[in-house]
Structure formats: C-alpha cells, structure tokens
Amino acid sequence: MQSPEVWNFKEPSTFLQIKEFNKFPKTLLEEFFCNHLITLIVPDCLKIPPKLVQSLIDDCEYYKITGVNLSHLLDPQFFDNFIRQGKLTALSIGTRIDCDNCFAITPTGTLILILNKDTYQSLGLEGSASYFSQKNKDRYIIKIDLRNSKLQPGQRSFKRIKAALDSLEKFSLILSWLPPEDTICPSSVAKFFNDLNYNVKVCKNNFKTHVLYSINSPIILKEDISENEIIDFAEWLGMVSIDGDFLGSFDNYVNTYEAPEPSIVLSQLRFLQWRGFFLPEHIEKLTSFLRDYNDVEKKSWMAIYTQGFSDMPIVTPNKEHHYYTNGDNGNLLIFNKNKFLSCIQRCTSKTYK
C-alpha cells in the first residue's frame, strides 16, 4: 500500500492586517488584553537604559493559583471589589482549548467559558456552539457580562450562575488585577485567595537579551513604502528574533534567506525579550518610555512584537482562538517619532473538517 503524501496538505491561509497611525494606537493594543511575550528590537543601540528593562518587570507581578472553585468569583467581597472595580484579567492554565473545559476573564468584566458538550448541557447556562465546532457541536462557548447592572447578588439569575460555576471542576489559573486607584495595592486580589487557603504563587516576568552585529536591514517607514515591503520587513524581523542565518544563498540547502533590498548595514541590532503575563497597560508604559528615549536617540525605527498565550481560549473579547492549528494573537508595532505601523497576524476564519 502506497503511503499518502501527508506532507502535501496546504497550510491554513494567513495574512498581515496592516494599519498606519499618526499617534500611538492605544485602542488597538487594548484588543489584545492578555499577552505572554513581548519582544523589542532596537537598531544601533550601544546601551539600553536599565529603566527600560525594568519597565516590564517592576510592578508587573502576576499570580498563579491552583485548584480554584470559580464560584468564588461571585463571592460578594470578590465580586464588588475586584470584578466591579479595577481591571481583572484571568486565564486558565494547564488546559487544552480544543478538548478541555477552560475559561478567561477580560478586563471589561466578561467571563468566557469554553466547555465540552456534556459540561455545557449540565450547567443550564445560555451559550452557543463554538465557531470551530459548528458541524459536530461538541464544543460550546458561554459569555457572561459580570459588570451588567442587572446582575446583582441575591437575585435568582446571580444564584443560578454561581451554582453553575460551583459545579465545574477546579481550575489552575494566572491572574492580574489593576486597581482603580494608585493607593490600592494590586496584591489585594492575591490576599483574597490566600485567605481562602488556596496555594498562591507570586510570579515575575523573565527577561533576556542578545545583540547581532553587522546586519543588513531593509529600509522602513519611508514615505512611499508599499504593503509588500512592510510584509518583507516583518519577515526580516522574524529572522532577527530567532537569530536566523542571514547569509543564505541559492545553493544553501537549509536556508536561502537574504535581507530584502534596498537595505543598509546596521552596526548592531539589539534584541530584548520579556516573557510572562502582560496587560495592555504594561505595553503602553513600555512604548511611552520608548518615545521619550527616541526623542534623545533619534532612531529611524523601533519594533515591538507581542504574542498571546498559545492555549488561551480567545484572541480578543469577541474572537475565538485557533489554538495550535494557526493562532492569530500576534501583533507587530513598527514606529518612529512620527509614524506607527501595526501588523496583526490574521488567519482564515475557515472551520476545519
């Protein structure tokens, strides 16, 4: 029997959604409410200010909590102080979004549950079939607006939701809470769970850096730049990020990649990467620092790449994630003093058979 050509299947189509801004696109970054990795690339940079590195480490702690009963989210103390006030972001971990029950809480107060069929039918809460399970209908999504003024403790609907959450299995999760006022400590949310005798672990973001020397760089952010040139530049940044071989040739079996033309030679290219749990406010703080830094250094361009968690159930509050099949929760921001280019990876909305 002849083996099938399993390598000959076409990959899901993908493209970059490119947008240009004259000022920092704060609203755009807020769509990506939960990020796992941030990469900063700066050309011809001899020294990075320590404050820049620490901007995504200091006061950016998050918490890992194991074995949580989700009904505690609707305890009056937690509901009033952490759901209705400030910005709470939470994500289940150790779950597979294609077959396990999982959840997320967005900063706007929306609880999103993605459940298997049996669990969904046992809860009695209103939802719909997952976009990627329209045919088999074996995965369902439930969205609950916890900040809805009609949802009040003591009401029948509130009790029904709390009882449904209590019937779910216990989850391990990571979370971060931004208080409504600077005088309130963000660690208050950790104390709540610690008082319930949960195992709460304080986590800090990790940082690493390296420098590449004598690198050919495409010219970017010129007046008449085309969309294809932006895509080529994004691909070049990807090669930089993985420290790829830029000396490719047509007779090189492993790699034929070369920097797009026209190009210039950079004496050095500094690569900085933070990995952990990041909110849009953290990225905004970083870009604010970079804009002040660039007022002095006058860099022709800088780039920030953000990547969400590969197993997070949603990309934005209104869009389900493709999981490992072809995720689309990456965002590239290229900018200088006068211009911002956003390149968002998008993949087909096709459902898989």
In this structure, the answer to whether residues 159 and 173 fall within a common structural domain is yes
In a domain, 191, yes or no: yes
Q: What is the pLDDT of residue 7?
A: 60
In this structure, the answer to whether residues 220 and 294 fall within a common structural domain is yes
In this structure, the answer to whether residues 183 and 236 fall within a common structural domain is no
pLDDT of 199 above 90: yes
In a domain, 352, yes or no: no
In this structure, the answer to whether residues 50 and 67 fall within a common structural domain is no
In a domain, 102, yes or no: yes
If pLDDT is split at 50, 70 and 90, which confidence band does 325 have? low
In this structure, the answer to whether residues 164 and 225 fall within a common structural domain is no
In this structure, the answer to whether residues 167 and 215 fall within a common structural domain is no
pLDDT tens digits along 20-68: 887 777 777 777 788 899 999 998 888 888 888 888 988 889 999 999 9
In this structure, the answer to whether residues 197 and 225 fall within a common structural domain is no
In this structure, the answer to whether residues 52 and 76 fall within a common structural domain is no
- HEC letters along the chain: CCCCCHHHCCCCCEEEEEEEECCCCHHHHHHCCCEEEEEEEEECCCCCCHHHHHCCCCCCCEEEEEEECHHHHHCHHHHHHHHCCCEEEEEEECCCCCCCCEEEECCCCEEEEEEEHHHHHHHCCCCEECHHHCCCCCEEEEEEECCCCCCCCCCHHHHHHHHHHHHCCCEEEEEEEECCCCCCCCCHHHHHHHHCCCEEEEECCEEEEEEEEEEEEECCCCCCCCHHHHHHHHHHHHHHHCCCCCCCCCCCCCCCCCCCCCEEEEEEEEEEEEEEEECHHHHHHHHHHHHHHHHHHCCCCEEEEEECCCCCCEEECCEECCHHHCCCCEEEEEECCCCEEEEEEEECCCCCC
In this structure, the answer to whether residues 335 and 275 fall within a common structural domain is yes
**pTM of the predicted structure, to 2 decimals:** 0.86
Domain extent, residue 322, equals 12-59+206-347
**What is the number of domains present in the chain?**
2
Task: Name the domain boundary from 177, 203, 229.
Answer: 203
Q: What is the pLDDT of residue 163?
A: 93
pLDDT tens digits along 155-177: 899 999 999 999 999 999 999 99
pLDDT of 253 above 70: no
Task: Name the domain boundary from 178, 203, 228.
Answer: 203
pLDDT tens digits along 105-136: 999 999 999 999 899 999 888 888 887 777 77
In this structure, the answer to whether residues 213 and 328 fall within a common structural domain is yes
Is the model more confident about 81 or about 317? 81
Is the model more confident about 156 or about 261? 156
In a domain, 1, yes or no: no
| Mean pLDDT for the stretch of residues 233-239 | 84
pLDDT of 90 above 90: yes
217-221, 239-243, 250-254, 291-295: lowest mean pLDDT where?
Answer: 250-254
- Cα separation, 265 vs 246, in Å, equals 12
Q: What is the pLDDT of residue 193?
A: 94
Q: What is the pLDDT of residue 329?
A: 75
